[in-house]
Amino acid sequence: MIIKEENSLNEAENDSAQISIVIATYNAAKYLQKCLNSIYDQEYKAINIIVIDGKSTDGTVKILQDNTKRIHFWLSEKDSGIYNALNKGLKYVKGNWVYFLGSDDELLPDFSKLALELTDPNTIYYSNVIHKGMKRSGRVSNYYMAKVGIYHQAIIYPVAVFKKYQYTLKYKIAADYALNMGCFKDKAFHFEYKEYIITQYNHTGISSIEVDMPFEKDKANLILENFGLTIWLQFMFRQFKKVFYGPLKNLLSKAG
């Protein structure tokens, strides 16, 4: 089932200042309306909403039907996971900017403030989210970006990123992490931090209960490939300490 609605929050459909917000949903009826309302409430109105649903059975589709006049495009059909859904959504983006929002997340007023500072079409802008009642993660170092990454919901991407890349389907949970690693290496783009808190990140999805083992297996090689030898050595040294030094310290303390 496909619903395409040409009316959106923004009437200037060719306006390059538009931000396309892509939301992947599956059985998200408990949260989705609050998520949508947080977009409608933004002072910044040049927004197109794109929702890709994985054929929900819980009332999500009814919510989408009820909001059709305010959603630029929505689709409900089976998919192979969140990144398959997001890649589908990228086909319908408008304007120069793309943002990905979880169906259980809510935009905060600062999102509109950040939107007004999107000026460089080759810059990936990132800010902060609220997670478990705390502001996270501030301006990050290159090492932190390699080791931990940036919250997906903290980032607004220039559309140029997705003219070159899509999310790999190899990683079910950490494909956005892998994408950011590739963008860090790509000299066509750079990351810029802005001091705002743009989203309430609720973290009730699959990433809250599972680990992306294929990504964890590849992580060290991805760091070497995208961040270089120095950061890779830092990462490997700290992994060595984590794996060997902790247990050795405990063993020696027991022996003493």
Count of the separate structural domains present in the chain: 1
Q: Is residue 16 part of a domain?
A: yes
The C-alpha atoms of residue 87 and residue 188 are separated, in whole angstroms, by 21
The residue-averaged pLDDT of 211-215 equals 95
Q: Is residue 230 part of a domain?
A: no
pLDDT of 238: 85
pLDDT higher than 70, residue 39: yes
pLDDT higher than 70, residue 245: no
Task: Give phi and psi for 237, each to the nearest 5.
Answer: -65, -45
Domain that holds residue 40: 2-212
Q: Are the CB atoms for 147 and 236 separated by under 8 Å? A: no
Q: Is residue 125 part of a domain?
A: yes
The C-alpha atoms of residue 230 and residue 224 are separated, in whole angstroms, by 8
Q: Is residue 41 part of a domain?
A: yes
Q: Is residue 47 part of a domain?
A: yes
| pLDDT one-digit tens code per residue, 95-118 | 999 999 999 999 999 999 999 999
Q: Is residue 250 part of a domain?
A: no
Q: Write the Ramachandran bin of 4: left for phi over 0, alpha for psi from -120 to 50, otherwise beta.
A: beta
| Domain CATH for 118 | 3.90.550.10
Q: Is residue 29 part of a domain?
A: yes
Q: Is residue 45 part of a domain?
A: yes
Query: What is the pLDDT of the chain when averaged over all its residues?
Result: 90
